[in-house]
Amino acid sequence: MSESNSSMVDVATLYIVPTPIGNLADITQRALDVLANVDLIAAEDTRHTSRLLSHFSISTRTFAFHDHNEQQKADFLIEKLQAGTSIALVSDAGTPLISDPGYHLVNRCRHAGVKVVPLPGPCAVITALSGSGLPSDRFSFEGFLPPKSKGRRDCFQALADDARTLIFYESPHRINDSLSDMLAVLGPDRQVVLARELTKTYETIHSAPLGELIDWIAEDSNRVRGEMVVLVAGHRAQKDELSVEVLRTLTLLAAELPLKKAAALTAEIHGAKKNALYKWGLENLE
């Protein structure tokens, strides 16, 4: 096999290289070897990455590759890869593509037959989940929440009945508004974990029912500093509880059919109890 600068990397290969989310000691030896030996590093912010490279005495040339130029620059990088260049893709922190640039490049590389090698490494989602105390067997990473209140509430409403642990990224200047919107939709008793400044000096992982978490944050403005991961316990249905999906079906059918018939059909579709549906309909639809 032909090789690039060193036996550490292959020619014509795109390496996906995770970088520390805080503590520089978390970078792997393999990541350092790749960064030192590829021909080019495609970086979300070259200034940020240059500080990391300088810390580890790595002099590889960097190239700006971020949200605003990704689609335009992807073809350029693929041409270089096909010509034999080895390239490492990095974001400012953590694993590229996880709410960071890189999807379009990797997707086009796959379609173009360019070799893509992902390295394991730091990721705020997994770091926060592993220390949260919430169920980790099934979870859903939802990325950054919408910037406006209506979008956030619609998001929470769509996920209200999801039984998986839900994980979001949020910024310090929006965290209070986002938690308020969450409270309006999910109520004060849903268990929520706020993980901030992960792997750094002031790392905090605080778990509480949502209402209590909001009060805890209000006690100290320092509790909303730094990058944040918000983890929400999945929905746990109570006995005889009717889900949003079941009630939506009943509401649609009841608009066209007698309530008793609508309740019977809804019960058959969803396996719910007909009497509970009929009672809910009497109280809410008539």
* Tens-place pLDDT, residues 238-249: 656 788 888 999
Determine whether 154 is exposed, middle or buried from the number of CB atoms within 10 Å of its CB (0-12, 13-18, 19+). middle
pLDDT beyond 60 at 266: yes
Distance separating alpha carbons of residues 59 and 118, to the nearest angstrom: 22
Predicted pLDDT at 240? 61
User: What digits encode the pLDDT tens for the residues 141-156?
Assistant: 999 999 999 999 999 9
User: What digits encode the pLDDT tens for the residues 29-58?
Assistant: 999 999 999 999 999 999 999 999 999 999
Mean pLDDT, residues 51-72 taken together: 93
**Fold for domain 125-232?**
3.30.950
pLDDT beyond 50 at 1: no
pLDDT band at 69 (very low <50, low <70, confident <90, very high): confident
210: Cα within 13 Å, side-chain hemisphere: 21
For 248, the 3-state DSSP assignment is helix
Which residues in the chain belong to E strands, given as ranges?
13-16, 40-43, 62-64, 87-90, 115-118, 139-144, 165-170, 191-196, 204-209, 228-232
Angle at 52 between CA 47 and CA 53, to 5 degrees: 90
Q: What is the CATH number of domain 13-122?
A: 3.40.1010.10
- Which token pair is 92? 């400012």
Amino acid identity at 90:
V
In total, the chain counts a number of residues equal to: 286
pLDDT beyond 70 at 3: no
Other residues' Cβ atoms within 10 Å of the Cβ of residue 266: 27
Mean pLDDT, residues 69-79 taken together: 91
Mean pLDDT of all residues belonging to the chain: 93
Predicted pLDDT at 122? 97
176 with 224: CB under 8 angstroms? yes
Identical fold for domains 13-122 and 125-232, yes or no, is no
Give the predicted TM-score (pTM) of the model: 0.81
Sign of CA dihedral 102, 105, 111, 117: negative
Q: Which residue ranges make up each domain of the chain?
A: 13-122, 125-232, 244-283
Predicted pLDDT at 68? 85
User: What digits encode the pLDDT tens for the residues 10-32?
Assistant: 999 999 999 999 999 999 999 99
Mean pLDDT, residues 173-193 taken together: 96
